[in-house]
Structures are given as C-alpha cells and as structure tokens.
C-alpha cells in the first residue's frame, strides 16, 4: 500500500478545517496509508529583513527534514510551482507508485513559504493556483485533491 505523508508547518486550529480533513483522511484510508505531520512554525513579525526571513525558513526546513522519509518522493506546494490539474496530480501519484516508489511526501510551508533547499531537493513543485490560501485551508484542499487523485486513478466516479 502506498504511504503518503503530509508535512506541514504550523497547527490547524479551526474546527471546520479539522472536520473536513478528518472526513477526507477517512475516505483515503482505503487507498493509501496517510499521515499528517505538523512541525512548529517560527514567530514572525510584520517587517523582516531578507536575512531574518531566510533564518526562519531554514529553522522550519530543519524541522521538516526530520520528518521526511529518506526513500520518499517529495512534492512541495509553492505558489510559484508548476500549475497542476487534478488529473495531472493523479498521474504524478500513479507514476511514482507504478515505478516502485511506495512513499510520497507532500510539504506545505509556513506563512513565509519554504526554504530554497527544500524546493531544490523536491521531485516536483506544484501550485493549485496563483492565489494565496491560508496554510490551514491549503491542507484541506491538498487532502481533498489527493483523495480525488485516487478516485481518478481507480476509475471511480467523482464529481467534476
């Protein structure tokens, strides 16, 4: 069975987002083993120098790297990543699984994004659009899209 890790900076606080995530995680359980790993975010302030931003991103990246499975294919979510459709995400997941990769890690950064070093070592950098979404909401969107991907891969009906 495919193992999927979601490694996310920060905690989900909103009950409605937790409820939505729980529903899709339950639905996903028949397709893959999925785990959500939260790493703590660094405090930020309104005005930050480039050096301060880089320091925050590197501290968060250190925490993310501790959660990464070394054999995992890594997909990062980044606003500047490759725009992807549900079908293209399904194809990526299916290709990784078809070619013997039993572990996929998705990474969602914090409010400042992700350190460049994580983007450079990723196998794919994707974006669901050029809009900025709250990181908590992005988790729910990603989990729903992973569920949709498995429905597509398995030829099951799912509303468009």
Position 130 scores a pLDDT of 87
Provide CATH code, domain 2-153. Answer: 3.40.1280.10
Annotated ligand binding at 150? The verdict is no
Q: Are 136 and 10 in contact (CB under 8 A)?
A: yes
The 10s digit of each residue's pLDDT in 52-79 is 999 999 999 999 999 999 999 999 999 9
Annotated ligand binding at 112? The verdict is no
- Is residue 159 predicted with pLDDT exceeding 70? no
What string of H, E and C letters represents the secondary structure of the chain? CEEEEEEEECCCCCHHHHHHHHHHHHHHCCCEEEEEEEECCCCCCCCCCHHHHHHHHHHHHHHHHHHCCCCCEEEEEEEEEEECCHHHHHHHHHHHHHCCCCEEEEEECECCECCHHHHHHCCEEEECCCCCCCHHHHHHHHHHHHHHHHHHHCCCCCCC
Position 43 scores a pLDDT of 92
Going by C-beta distance under 8 Å and a sequence separation of 6 or more, which residues neighbour residue 148?
A: 86, 89, 90, 158
Rounded to 5 degrees, φ, ψ at 107 are: -120, 130
Annotated ligand binding at 63? The verdict is no
Annotated ligand binding at 132? The verdict is yes
Annotated ligand binding at 20? The verdict is no
Mean predicted lDDT score pLDDT of the chain: 94
Dist. CA 51–CA 137, nearest whole Å? 28
Tokens of 61: 């990246």
Count CB atoms within 10 A of the CB of residue 118: 23
Dmax (CA) for the chain in angstroms is 49
Residue spans per domain, the chain: 2-153
Q: Which whole-number Å values give the CA distances from 101 to 2, 32, 33, 92, in the listed order?
A: 8, 13, 14, 11
pTM of the model: 0.94
Annotated ligand binding at 140? The verdict is no
Comparing 28 with 100, the larger pLDDT belongs to 28
Annotated ligand binding at 131? The verdict is yes
The 10s digit of each residue's pLDDT in 92-113 is 999 999 888 999 999 999 999 9
Annotated ligand binding at 128? The verdict is yes
**Of the candidates 28, 24, 5, which has an alpha carbon nearest to the alpha carbon of residue 74?**
5
Position 1 scores a pLDDT of 87
């Amino acid at each position: 069975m495919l193992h999927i890790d979601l490694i996310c900076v920060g905690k989900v606080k909103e009950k409605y987002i937790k409820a939505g995530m729980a529903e899709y995680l339950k639905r996903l359980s028949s397709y893959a083993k999925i785990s959500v790993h939260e790493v703590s975010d660094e405090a930020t302030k309104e005005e930050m120098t480039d050096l301060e931003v880089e320091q925050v991103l590197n501290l968060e990246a250190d925490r993310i790297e501790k959660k990464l499975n070394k054999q995992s294919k890594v997909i990062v979510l980044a606003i500047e990543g490759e725009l992807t459709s549900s079908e293209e995400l399904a194809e990526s997941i299916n290709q990784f699984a078809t070619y013997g990769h039993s572990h996929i890690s998705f990474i969602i950064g914090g409010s400042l994004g992700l350190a460049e070093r994580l983007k450079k070592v990723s196998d794919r950098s994707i974006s669901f659009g050029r809009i900025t979404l709250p990181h908590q909401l992005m988790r729910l969107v990603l989990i729903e899209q992973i569920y949709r991907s498995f429905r597509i891969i398995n030829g099951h009906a799912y509303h468009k």
